[in-house]
Amino acid sequence: MQVVEKSAEGLSRVLAVTIPAAELNAKLDAKLKEVGPQLRLKGFRPGKVPAGYVKKTFGRDLMGEIVNTELNESSQKALDEAKVRPAAPAEMKLTSDMDKVIKGEEDLAYEMSLEVMPEFTPVDPASLKLTRPTYEASDEDLEEALKELASQAKTYEDKKGKAVKAAEGDQLTIDFLGKLDGEPFEGGAAEDADLVIGSNRFIPGFEEQLKGAKVGEEKTIEVTFPEDYQAAHLAGKAATFDIKVKAIKAEAEAKVDDEFAKRIGLESLDKLKELLKSNLDQQYAGAARFKQKRALLDQLDAAHSFDLPPKMVEAEFDGIWRQVEADKAAGQLPEEDAKKSDDDLKAEYRKIAERRVRLGLVLAEIGRANNVGVTDNELNNAILQEARNYPGQERQVLDFYRQNPNAAAQMRAPIYEEKVVDLIFDKAEVTDAPISKEDLLKEDDEV
């Protein structure tokens, strides 16, 4: 095999690779000798098929397999021989006549176009000085969490009084029958339906008209379905609902005690507090790590300046810009971005793309220098965790990652990054610094 560097401009390289026809033919002859004795063809004794007949009959297919193998294996050998590290998979272009190559009449020749990793020396992690924000959940935080949990586990009790009337926040039990032009419509009826006034679970105007209703009262209300209602035959239509109010309940004051803890599956209030405290500490620790990591990445970005592979930057920018356009189409652009022109936005997001690529290369180089890797077990655990996010579809998710190596590689990347970040945190000089909860939970821009 011959490898020649045809061009080198910046980080771009073009390598010309040639595998002599004689080498391919020698491999074909070896393959024919290997398979010949194993052939069982009609008209020939087992293992006695003439070599010339085997080559004439199977030679083209076998040479095709040899060429495919050579293309796959020689490309990595060519990179090793040229002593280059690709920043991304190379683009391959055949320059020989494949029909003649298959016939054994011409060398196998191709060109590899690629961008190489920039040469730079990453900062020594031990030279970095970092601050680790610290905050521990307070008694006030725990009380607030308990109240929030109690509000999510609302209970209702029959409303008491001489003349009970439905009001905002009350839970009503009703029977209802919906009609269009006086005729019931499919899906418009229910019995013993629970409805909280103000929950906005029903179509606009429905809940409001039940305010002031009494137990046992029967009434008819008028509503209009929204124009974008999911059932097309009802969208924009005026309808009436015959309603019978069967019960009115008010929200019961939630007592956070042992009974409350047992109702949600825990043995005692102390156990509930212990669990909530642990969850809060994990939440705050995660927020602290995010801020510490952001500060680390800012330092790494400021400490490195080198040429970036243009295609990597372009691919990163394209991904960012697709999301920007999707957000714009959905009317979800941040207010400050919505006021800017596309040219201004592209300039800003290209800088973000460059920062991400630069940091990715720096972290990769630090990881390589310190022998950081992702084990199969770590990758499998991450894939299993991802599958658990789709209850009932776990098998499909697992099969997807097994059948798509690129998707698995994308799952590997963030694991690798976090391991490199952990390594840097271990080696750097880190000083703890107390921080308020407000500052800790203040949203920062994502990296």
Question: Tens digit of pLDDT for each residue in 245-295?
Answer: 999 999 887 788 898 888 888 899 999 999 999 999 999 999 999 999 999
Mean pLDDT over 174-192 rounds to 94
pLDDT 10s digits, 194-221: 999 999 989 999 999 999 999 999 999 9
The pLDDT-based confidence of 417 (bands split at 50, 70, 90) is: very high
pLDDT at residue 271 in the model = 94
Buried b (16+ CB within 10 A) or exposed e, 302-339: eebeeebbebbbeebbeebbeebeeeeeeeebeeeeee
**pTM (2 decimals)?**
0.70
Question: Is pLDDT above 70 for 46?
Answer: no
pLDDT 10s digits, 313-357: 999 999 999 999 999 888 888 888 988 999 999 999 999 999 999
pLDDT at residue 44 in the model = 64
**50 by DSSP, 3-state: which?**
coil
Mean pLDDT over 13-40 rounds to 84
- The domain ranges of the chain are 2-115, 154-251, 261-441
| β-strand partners of 171 | 196, 249
Domains 2-115 and 154-251 share a fold: no
In 20-128 the beta strands, taken as DSSP E runs, fall at 91-94, 108-115
Strand 129-134 and strand 429-434: pairing? Answer: parallel
- Pick 2-115's CATH classification: 3.40.50.1390, 3.10.580.20, 2.30.140.10, 3.30.70.1050: 3.30.70.1050
Indicate if the alpha-carbon torsion angle 234, 236, 242, 243 is positive or negative: positive
pLDDT at residue 440 in the model = 92
Architecture in CATH for domain 261-441: Orthogonal Bundle (1.10)
154-251 is classed CATH 3.40.605.10: no
pLDDT 10s digits, 352-404: 999 999 999 999 999 999 999 999 999 999 999 999 999 889 999 999 998 99
